[in-house]
Amino acid sequence: MRARNYVVGAAFALLAAGMGHSALAEDIKIGEINSYSLLPSFTEPYRKGWQLAVEEINAAGGINGKKLVVISKDDGGKPADAQTAANELVSSEGVAMLTGTFLSNIGLAVSDFANQKKVFFLAAEPLTDAVTWAKGNKYTFRLRPSNYMQAAMLVEAASKLPAKRWATIAPNYEYGQSAVAVFKKLMSEKRPDIQWVDEQWPPQGKIDAGPVVQAVAQANPEAILNVTFGPDLVKLVREGNTRGLFKGREVVSFLTGEPEYLDPLKDETPEGWIVTGYPWYSIKTPEHEAFLKAYQAKYNDYPRLGSIVGYQTIKAAAAIIAKAGSTDTDKMIAAAEGISMPSPFGEITFRKIDHQSTLGAFVGKTAQKDGKGVMVDATYKKGSDYLPSDAEVAKLRPKD
């Protein structure tokens, strides 16, 4: 007991020693948090993306003449640790704003922190609708198309399918639950004749794919909605292929076209799934080609969707600070509401009404080419076309 407090002192001495600042006082510092150690397959390309953005911004003279510095922290996939990191970035590094996060619950935890501490937060990836709607706040903005938007994009294609009997497979946590809920709601609105014949909820990361596939097949659906991703998706696809689950059935699948999840499937890639994703090899717009060239030149690797998210997050942060002309939080919020900026996917806008960006996603079909999974017939869906009306949004979001 008596030694306790000396150790506290020693611990803080260590902490203080570790906080050497490399940045100069005039630099603009942005804090970035993500699940680097938990989700390296997403966060490694993501990190490369934002590092490219920082390099480009500083090469072009920085933000209003000041150098941009991004200080990055790992949250280990835990909301509580993300808050510790956020606190360090704000209290001790003195960053102008927080950015990043992947998991929905971490996005919400940091968003709540931002709201409490009055700090600007640009959420990069968390998909839950709650970030901008039910638990939205004045300080939080989001880049990626939300669950609702991606569901709406998929429903547009799915509702044209003749299938009437649908089954769903989704990971048993908030993301899976809300993806299925929104998809079902929007789908049933467009197609009242649809029946939902089975639903499977394997635990995230722990799917026992054989029994799940068998159970779905037993319900004999005409079409299947899949929300699993990562290693779960691999197991599901392998079991499904072997057991013939996907034969003669339409499959609509969230995120499967993203290189992070599609590439590991290689020659197991199922044909003809309707998916959201990122076909970097077939996007021929000048904005994207410029990004692709710069990315490949710097890393000698192709971009994943994470690269786009990381790149655009920092680009957006810089654009907001440049427009605000200051790192004052209220001025940044004012600047961010309604700001438009270029992105590799074309121009995007951060909406004033709910702080959601209009960044879209590509919807297409999966196919195999030379033993690799690709997305074909992909078209870009603008985010602005897949959001509910302003009146509805106003109802969903608490008043600031």
Partner 1 sequence: MAFYVVQFLTGLASAASLFLVASGLSIIFGVTRIVNFAHGAFYMIGAYIAFTLTERFSGAFGFWGGVVLAALAVALIGVLVEMVLLRRIYHAPELFQLLGTFGLTLMVEDLVVLIWGPDDLVGRRAPGFKGAVDFFGQNIPSYDLFLIVLGPVVLGILWLLFQRTRWGVLVRAATQDRDMVAALGVNQKWLFTSVFAVGVFLAALGGALQIPRDAVHHAMDLRIIVEVFVVVVIGGLGSIVGAFVAAVLVSELNAFGILIFPKISIILVFLVMAVVLIVRPWGLFGKPEAAARKTPGLSVNPWRPLTSNERLAALAALVVAAMLPLVAGNYALTVGSEIAIFVIFAVSLHFLMSVGGLASFGHAAYFGLGAYGVAFLAKMAGLPMIVCLLLGPLLGCMGAAVFGFFAVQLSGVYFAMLTLAFAQIVWSIAFQWVSVTGGDNGILGVWPEKWAASPSHFYWLALGVAALVTIALRVMVFSPFGYALRATRDSVLRSEAVGIDAKRIQWTAFVIAGTTAGIGGALFAYLKGSVFPDNLGISLSVDALVMVLLGGVETVSGGVIGAIVYKALNIWLVSQTDLSKLVLGGFIVLIVVVFPKGIVGMLEILAQRRRKSSPPGSSLLAKPIESAE
Range 164-203, binding partner 1 (CB under 8 A)? 172-174, 177, 198-203
Burial of 204 (0-12, 13-18, 19+ CB in 10 A): middle
Torsion of CA 206, 208, 214, 215, to 10 degrees: -50
CA separation for the pair 287, 93 (Å, rounded): 34
- Assess 124 for contact with partner 1 (CB under 8 A): no
Range 274-313, binding partner 1 (CB under 8 A)? none
> Applying CB under 8 A, which of residues 34, 51, 83, 343 lies at the interface with partner 1?
83
- Assess 44 for contact with partner 1 (CB under 8 A): yes
Secondary structure in 3-state letters for 209-250:
HHHHHHHHHHHCCCEEEECCCCHHHHHHHHHHHHHCCCCCCE
CB of 208 to partner 1, least distance (A): 5
- Assess 112 for contact with partner 1 (CB under 8 A): yes
Residues 131-160, mask of contacts with partner 1 (x by CB under 8 A): ----x-------------------------
Based on CB atoms, which residue is closest to partner 1, 87 or 282?
87
- Assess 368 for contact with partner 1 (CB under 8 A): no
- Span of 9-17, 140-148, 277-285, 376-384 interacting with partner 1 by CB under 8 A: 9-17
- Assess 248 for contact with partner 1 (CB under 8 A): no
Burial of 189 (0-12, 13-18, 19+ CB in 10 A): exposed
Q: What is the C-alpha radius of gyration for the chain, rounded to an integer number of angstroms?
A: 22
Closest CA to 310 of 49, 107, 36, 40: 49
- Assess 268 for contact with partner 1 (CB under 8 A): yes
Based on CB atoms, which residue is closest to partner 1, 101 or 358?
101
- Span of 257-265, 308-316, 320-328, 383-391 interacting with partner 1 by CB under 8 A: 257-265
Based on CB atoms, which residue is closest to partner 1, 217 or 305?
217
Q: How far is CA 276 from CA 130, 147, 197, 258, in A?
A: 21, 11, 24, 7
- Distance, CA of 380 to chain centre: 17
CB of 96 to partner 1, least distance (A): 16
- Assess 24 for contact with partner 1 (CB under 8 A): no
Q: By the 8 A CB rule, do 54 and 298 touch?
A: no
The first and second tokens of residue 257, run together, are: 């076209």
Based on CB atoms, which residue is closest to partner 1, 124 or 319?
124
The first and second tokens of residue 211, run together, are: 């029994």
- Assess 6 for contact with partner 1 (CB under 8 A): yes
